[in-house]
Structure 1
Amino acid sequence: MPSLICSSRYTIDSQILRKAAQQLGWETLRLDGKRIPDWFDPPDNDFAFFYTAPHVFDIGKQLNRKMLGCNPDWAVNLPQELLRRELRQTTLADALANIQDHFVKHAVSKAFPAAVYNQQSLADATSSIHPSSLVHIGEPVNWTHEYRCFVANRKVMTVSPYVYDGVIVTDYDSFPTVPDSEISTVRAFAESVLEHPNVDCPDAFVLDVGKIAGRGWAVVECNECWASGIYACDPAIVLQTLLCGNADSATMQSSTWDFAQHYSLACPGITE
């Protein structure tokens, strides 16, 4: 029987996932602190985490698990037919010296809001962030629709809109009604990304895709499945994806998708 381990952040997503896990008969644990309690006796070694970095790395280490996720430059190295826009990775220091009305986001974290910035507004937004931090710089585009896809073993497991007709979904009780034909289109495009011969990926992650006005369907970004909002995705299927989002430290054969290493590279100086 698997175990779901949640952080102390009492979010709607964590409540939904914990309820789904309990209905499936899973063990559930919501941590209040940084240590796995001595009394916790998991029934087996199948763990699903719903936790944010960097705290999750220490929790995983206590259970001999490594968290999986895409490397910082995964999105920027995608073939152009999957991006449909200019996108590159650089340091925050370089971005501060060279941007002018560009879209900028942190390469792996939510350290500052992803938005269109000029030099001054970016400096204001990132005043407390290390200049060697990795960021993505892109041309501003108009995303009309955006969808979250939970992926496991290169298969789209469950899908939900999170931006529709340019409006961000904020109320979990009033998701937009999306035609089945569009969901099929989203799945087909996401699967084309996962099947592309020049695209590699971890066993589980979140692939966000969307429609750019005047250009078509494209990859928005990648995220860690164990730290991403689920929106209207099927929580039971999300839980199955989370089981694939970590690996046994003793048997993990490659560090390619070791997200702790990627986070350390992209977020210098961040330990809490």
Structure 2
Amino acid sequence: MSGYEKLTVVTSAAWLARDLDAAGVVPVTRDIGLDAPVLDGATALWCPGVYATRMVATGLEHPFASFGPDWPFFFPHRFLRRTVIADRLSDVRWLAAASLPGPVFGKLAEHKAPSAPARVYPSIDAFASRLREVFGDAAEDLQVLVSAPIVFRAEYRCFIAHGQVTAASFYLLRTRTGGEITWDAFETAEQAPPVESAVRFAQQVVDALEDGHRATGAPECGQPDGWVLDVGLDENGAWSVVEPNASWSSNPYHADPAGVVRSILASQDPAGRPDWRWRPDPVLAARVRPFPTSTRSTS
């Protein structure tokens, strides 16, 4: 157990804090995120990545966990089912030149930038050009991810705590005519597409990550204590890993709130595994504003 006694949700969406509080795991309060958080050792956080990055820029330390930008190295290829390359843009460009000669799916490794969205680009050079337009010469040092494009008919989010899938939700369906149906088209989890098959696949991935590290005799765990695994189902009925995400900043959609909270708490256990400690991309961290000095909190 994490030892946290409460959870603060940094969001303008009142429903998120309300739903997580109703789970009854720990008391949940909402903050709109104008100031630095109070790090009292008893309060866990759910917050956007940019808020966490501002915390780091302000000098505030909090034990957020994440797979990090090089997550593809940890996942067996049988679960990815495509070439996935993660590194600094300057290195990815030449790595992808040989293995991904055509269109590529490209994104920032762990951050979101509306001006450089995660999508399919005509080539690795087109993706790199877009990043240079937005970030200038600093783009070469950005942590990015590129992969062979794959079309998922349906995508699901699975929350994980201490090696077990604790909650899951459908979040995207692509129709045969090219349309998209998102999670908010359904009022409740019962109305949304079922998640059982996604949960079974996600648990297989989680178990394989743990088994792989046990087999090597490595002392570190094969995964963070708390995280999110997005999985997708293709047109042939095959499951693949879409990507891991941080449960402390991931939309729960229609996932069971109690399982979501358990994953969030596990993702920032003060006694957790330092090898999975989240750090922001230095290029992006240099571009955010610290919180005002007068509101800076101490642990």
TM-score interval for Structure 1 and Structure 2 normalised by the shorter chain: 0.7 to 0.9
SS in 1 for 2:263: helix
- How far off its partner does 1:149 sit? 0.3
Specify the code of the residue in structure 2 equivalent to 1:6. V
Task: Say which of 258, 267, 289 aligns to 1:245.
Answer: 267
- With normalisation by structure 2, the TM-score equals 0.73
Q: How far apart in 2 are the matches of 1:232 and 1:28?
A: 19
SS at match of 2:275: coil
SS in 1 for 2:70: coil
Instruction: Count residues with an aligned counterpart.
Output: 256
The 8 Å contact of residues 108 and 118 in structure 2, kept in 1 or not, is answered as: yes
Shift of 1:16: 2.6
Task: Confirm or deny: 8 A CA contact 2:17 2:28 kept in the other structure.
Answer: no
1:256 maps to: 275
Pairing 1:151–2:175 present: no
**Preserved CA contact (<8 Å) 1:102 1:137:** yes
Query: In the alignment, is the contact (CA less than 8 A) between 1:96 and 1:123 conserved in 2?
Result: no
1:226: Cα distance to partner? 0.9
Structure 1 gaps of 5+ residues are none
Contact 1:93 1:132 (C-alpha < 8 Å) held by counterparts: yes
Q: Deviations over 1:190-231 (max 9, x none)?
A: 111111122611000110011123371010001010111111
Query: What code does the residue aligned with 1:269 have?
Result: A
Partner in structure 1 of residue 9 of structure 2: 6
Q: Is the 8 A contact 2:162 2:225 kept in 1?
A: yes
Alignment of 1:208 onto 2:221: no
- The 3-state SS of whatever aligns with 1:127 is helix
Q: Does residue 78 of the first structure (1) align with residue 75 of the second (2)?
A: yes
**Cα separation, partners in 2 of 1:62 and 1:233, compared to 1, 3 Å:** farther
Q: Does 1:269 align with 2:282?
A: no
Higher helix proportion: 2
RMSD: 3.1
Q: Aligned pair 1:233/2:255, yes or no?
A: yes
Between the aligned partners of 1:32 and 1:144, the Cα distance in structure 2 is 35
* Structure 1 residues 121 and 255: alpha-carbon distance in aligned structure 2, compared to 1, 3 A threshold: closer
State the percentage of identical aligned residues. 24
Quote the offset at 1:88 in angstroms.
1.1
CA distance in 2, matches of 1:231, 1:27: 17
Offset, 1:91: 2.5
Q: Which residue of 1 aligns with 2:151?
A: 142
Deviation at 1:239, TM superposition (A): 1.6
CA gap 1:162/1:53 in 2 versus in 1, 3 angstroms: same
The runs of 5 or more residues in structure 2 that have no matched partner are 214-221, 290-299
Match of 1:67 in 2: 64
Mapping for residues 178-217 of structure 1, pairs under 5 Å = 178-179=193-194, 183-196=195-208, 197-198=211-212, 200-214=222-236, 216-217=238-239
Residue 237 of structure 1 deviates from its aligned partner by 2.4
Aligned partners of 1:103 and 1:139 also within 8 Å: yes
Q: CA deviation at 1:173?
A: 4.1
